[in-house]
Amino acid sequence: MLGQYYYHEIIRKTIIAFGTLFNDINIKHKKQDDSDFSTIKVPIAYGPTEKFLARLEQKPDLRKRVAIILPRLAFEMNSIQYDNSRKISTMQTFKSKSLTDDKVVNRLFMPVPYNLGIQLSIMTQYNDDALQIVEQILPYFQPSFNLTIDLVSSIGEKRDIPIVLGNINFKDNYESGYDEKRIIIYDLNFTAKTYLFGPLPDSTEGLIKKVQVDYYTDTNRKNASRQLRYVAEPRAIQDYTNDNTTSLAEHIDDKITKFDVSNAASLTVNEYIEIDNEEMYIKEISGNTITVNRGQDETEIVSHTSGTVVNIINNADDALIEQDDDFGFSEYRYDYGDGKIYSPTKGIDVWKIILIR
């Protein structure tokens, strides 16, 4: 069950994003007349503070250079903890379109919230150097700073990850012996509130192909007899197959409902077509001239230029309906007086209603 391989690199991306926050910090040394003597860009590396201190304390000889010099920044992830305060229902899902195929829609379970503990260490030889670095960091955290991270690049899932500054520890070993180097250390403890995603499901999961509604004579369904059943089958409200049925033979604005196409032989009355992203309903065909209802299923009515592709929406598109598409379904009722199906709001054409008594 847990053997399915996947790796979104979320923890790695979060750590890298954290490090880039502090990769352009500079300190300045001044002369007595307050002019700049030197500007130093503070280097930063991933690793525990103890490793850098050990290298700093190494005794150089004539054949070796000093391993590192101060000032320096080091950061390291030191904890991973589940965040119960951001917990969401484990069964809740959301939709995300594939970046490589806009006809494929993935339904994903909500990610799991985890807190990554990251420690940033500031190591300097002079107190003023440490204070310069600290003052360039603290004002941005009140107490958090949001980073936008592409957590799952394959579906374009970007989220704002709060980086929260917790406590700050300070150490200065100036009371040590004269033979030891002075090292001033500020430890800033941060929490990155990230999210971990599981494996991406098959894009064909969760397709809604038919809905059945039963009406009973009583609220006690165990003993009541079923008097009426509605079976509703969805109809696609956009083209999925890119069939390139024909093309516009003229420019049409947002007012025209009668226009020419290059070849209407493959079009049929009472069916739907899609031009750009606008859906239309064909009411009449005469030669290569068609009469339509514009802006069907709440699509925007816009102008279209001559030569624009006209796609037909048919049964092949019905089979490729997106996951959890509501198909424009609103509400239906059956009037026993005249035997007609009524729709109080828009959307009656989106479902084919089959009445079974």
341 shares a domain with 227 = yes
Q: What is the mean pLDDT of residues 156-179?
A: 81
Report pLDDT for 208.
45
Domain boundary pick from 136, 169, 196: 196
CA count, 13 A, side-chain hemisphere, 115: 16
Are 71 and 125 in contact by the 8 Å Cβ rule? The answer is yes
Give me the sheet containing 211-216, strands edge to edge.
Answer: 211-216, 226-234, 351-356
CA count, 13 A, side-chain hemisphere, 52: 24
Q: Per the domain annotation, does 202 fall within a domain?
A: no
What residue spans of the chain are helical by DSSP H?
10-20, 49-57, 127-137, 315-318
> What's the pLDDT tens digit per position in 105-118?
566 778 889 999 99
Domain membership of residue 99 as a residue range: 10-196
117 shares a domain with 254 = no
- What is the dihedral angle through the alpha carbons of 234, 255, 261, 347, rounded to the nearest 10 degrees? 10
pLDDT above 90 coverage of the chain, percent: 34
Question: From CA 165, how far away is CA 159, in angstroms rounded?
Answer: 19
95 shares a domain with 163 = yes
CATH label of the domain that carries residue 87: 3.30.2000.40
Residue among 310, 267, 271 nearest 288 (CA)? 267
Report pLDDT for 180.
61
Q: Per the domain annotation, does 319 fall within a domain?
A: yes
How many CB atoms lie under 10 A from the CB of residue 189? 16
Specify the length of the chain in residues.
357
Question: From CA 276, how far away is CA 311, in angstroms rounded?
Answer: 9
Measured over the CA atoms of residue 60, residue 66, residue 72 and residue 76, the dihedral's sign is negative
Are 76 and 59 in contact by the 8 Å Cβ rule? The answer is no
151 shares a domain with 56 = yes
Angle at 266 between CA 265 and CA 270, to 5 degrees: 105
> What's the pLDDT tens digit per position in 321-352?
654 433 333 333 333 344 444 443 333 334 34
92 shares a domain with 165 = yes
Question: From CA 188, how far away is CA 313, in angstroms rounded?
Answer: 59
Burial annotation 127-154 (CB, 10 A radius, 16+ → b, else e): eebbebbeeebeeebeebbebebbbbee
Q: What is the mean pLDDT of residues 153-176?
A: 83
pLDDT at 65 over 60: no
Per DSSP, the three-state class of 63 is coil
Report pLDDT for 161.
92
pLDDT at 135 over 90: yes
Amino acid occupying residue 4: Q
217 shares a domain with 74 = no
Residue among 75, 84, 78 nearest 42 (CA)? 75
pTM score of the predicted model: 0.52
232 shares a domain with 168 = no
Report pLDDT for 5.
80
Q: What is the mean pLDDT of residues 309-315?
A: 90
pLDDT at 99 over 90: no
> What's the pLDDT tens digit per position in 199-256?
876 544 444 455 555 555 555 555 555 555 555 566 778 888 888 899 999 999 999 9
Q: Report residue 282 as tokens.
A: 């064909």
Per DSSP, the three-state class of 296 is helix
Q: Per the domain annotation, does 117 fall within a domain?
A: yes
151 shares a domain with 27 = yes
Per DSSP, the three-state class of 138 is helix
How many domains does the chain contain in total? 2
Which region among 67-71, 294-298, 344-348 has the lowest average model confidence (pLDDT)? 344-348
pLDDT at 27 over 60: yes
Which region among 42-46, 188-192, 202-206, 232-236 has the lowest average model confidence (pLDDT)? 202-206
Q: Report residue 159 as tokens.
A: 């989220």
How many CB atoms lie under 10 A from the CB of residue 334? 13
pLDDT bracket for residue 166 (50, 70, 90): very high
Top-confidence residue, 179 or 159: 159
pLDDT bracket for residue 90 (50, 70, 90): low
